[in-house]
Amino acid sequence: MRYISTRGGISPISFKDAVMMGLASDGGLLLPDSYPAVTRDQLESWRKFSYPELAFEIISRYVEDIPAVDLKSLINRSYSTFSHPDVTPMVKQDGLYILELFHGVTLAFKDVALQFLGNLFEYILAERNQKLNIIGATSGDTGSAAIHGVRGKKGISIFILHPHGKTSEVQALQMTSVTDDNVHNIAIRGTFDDCQDMVKELFGDLEFKEKYSLGAVNSINWARVLAQVVYYFYAWLRATDESDVPVNFAVPTGNFGDIFAGYVAKRMGLPVGKLLLATNENNILTRFINNADYSLGTVVSTASPSMDIQIASNFERYLFHLFDENPERVKTAFTELKEKGRISFSQEEMLIVREDFCSASVNHGATLLAIRKFFDDTAYLLDPHTAVGVKAALDLLPPDSARICLATAHPAKFSETVEQSLGFQPPVPESVKELYGKPTRCEVMDADISKVREFFISHIV
């Protein structure tokens, strides 16, 4: 198994090199050169597996350069931090399956990938005697999951910029209450875009990047997608334990990362019907699937902020496959996007898209109503991201199929919206209550790149 770039500009590399490269050096995204097939017999033999056992079966098929004992230990350590024995338990409510992906330390599904990535980084860096300085901008979820993924890890330091006072209180505390020496929170007096622009500028300075071993943890790292493939298998096995029903997944989508993992599972042979791509008002991907209209709009803020995205970074991985693995076609598409603000697709391509995907966009009002209706019917609390997927599933997926909705965040993480919908706040989990008494550390700064650079240089590993 080797890794190649969607832009065709690198010679194939190993898994470990792909993890360390993150974004491909030709500007594309890394992908395996093939998808290992899983047979129905193999699938059946995995029914009794625990989550980490299943994770090993799937992940090891993509990793040829880490010994099995080491990979097992990395996986076991990554999922031992989850508060539920099943790691990603699935519950049935009102005829829908809810796949709870929020039992990790920061109560959102990003922990599933970032706990694993943090351990992988530490392992590879130790082996190569290298260091890594991670820098990133966050509006909330990714930053806290990344910080918890690498806190206390040897050879790594992390610098996360967030807009001062503009994340939810819980999100800010999940970041600033981590006071390990290798964790640096920087609150910028400005917007998320200011944070993002400064991070881009630092990465754009290639000399600086090289000199200080700059790394990223954004959703372009292949290891993150890979870790997420596992729960599609896990959920499929649980849903089909009793009977052989068709299985569809509903996935609230921002960067196309989580749903791309579902596509990978399908390519490996997991018998999945449709992947339902659910968006909020930022609906470019819904317009693409339903109307072949992939044209850029402007980002609007919604009740599901982790999906407020126009350019979904992982979409390029899917386009590579849609375009018959032809890097030239990928490059042409992105040139068109840059010049005309859209990508055009042929009718044949759209037929292929619609074989695997269907889509719906759920607006603010419908999201709030969905939270309330689901609670009235089941007494189960949905966070606003999950509610977008649930509403889309109820509208589009056949009720005689197993409809699996990915629950991407704990409702307490977005309690303001839940309260808006229900009139009361969701119960606060112990791990969130504990945050309030903890000491915090955070550097507050103006949106001044030279100050950020100075701070970074004086705190690297």
Ligand X SMILES: *Cc1c(COP(=O)(O)O)cnc(C)c1O
Residues at the interface with ligand X (CB under 6 A): 108, 110, 141, 219, 252-258, 306-307, 385, 408-409
What minimum distance in Å lies between the beta carbon of 110 and ligand X?
A: 5
H helices of 105-221, where? 110-128, 141-150, 169-176, 192-204, 206-211
Single out the catalytic residue among 16, 72, 110, 413. 110
What minimum distance in Å lies between the beta carbon of 60 and ligand X?
A: 23
Strands 183-189 and 132-137: unpaired
Q: Which is nearer to ligand X, 20 or 225 (CB)?
A: 225
What minimum distance in Å lies between the beta carbon of 97 and ligand X?
A: 17
Rounded to 5°, angle at Cα 141 from 139 and 146:
110
What minimum distance in Å lies between the beta carbon of 306 and ligand X?
A: 3
Q: Which is nearer to ligand X, 153 or 385 (CB)?
A: 385
Contact 98, 386 (CB under 8 A): yes
Distance from C-alpha of 389 to C-alpha of 280, rounded to nearest angstrom: 9
Distance from C-alpha of 146 to C-alpha of 112, rounded to nearest angstrom: 11
Instruction: Kindly report the number of other CB atoms within 10 A of residue 68's CB atom.
Output: 10
Q: Which is nearer to ligand X, 248 or 408 (CB)?
A: 408
Torsion of CA 415, 420, 422, 427, to 10 degrees: 20
Q: Please give the sequence-ordered ranges of beta strands (E in DSSP) within 165-261, or none if there are none.
A: 183-189, 214-215, 247-252
Give Cβ neighbours of residue 303 (< 8 Å, ≥ 6 apart): 280, 364, 367, 368, 384, 414, 417, 420
Rounded to 5°, angle at Cα 433 from 365 and 411:
20
Q: Which is nearer to ligand X, 361 or 408 (CB)?
A: 408
What minimum distance in Å lies between the beta carbon of 243 and ligand X?
A: 30
Please say if 110 is a catalytic residue: yes
Q: Which is nearer to ligand X, 82 or 123 (CB)?
A: 82
Distances (CA, A) of 388 to 400, 407, 408: 21, 10, 11
- Give the catalytic positions in this structure: 110
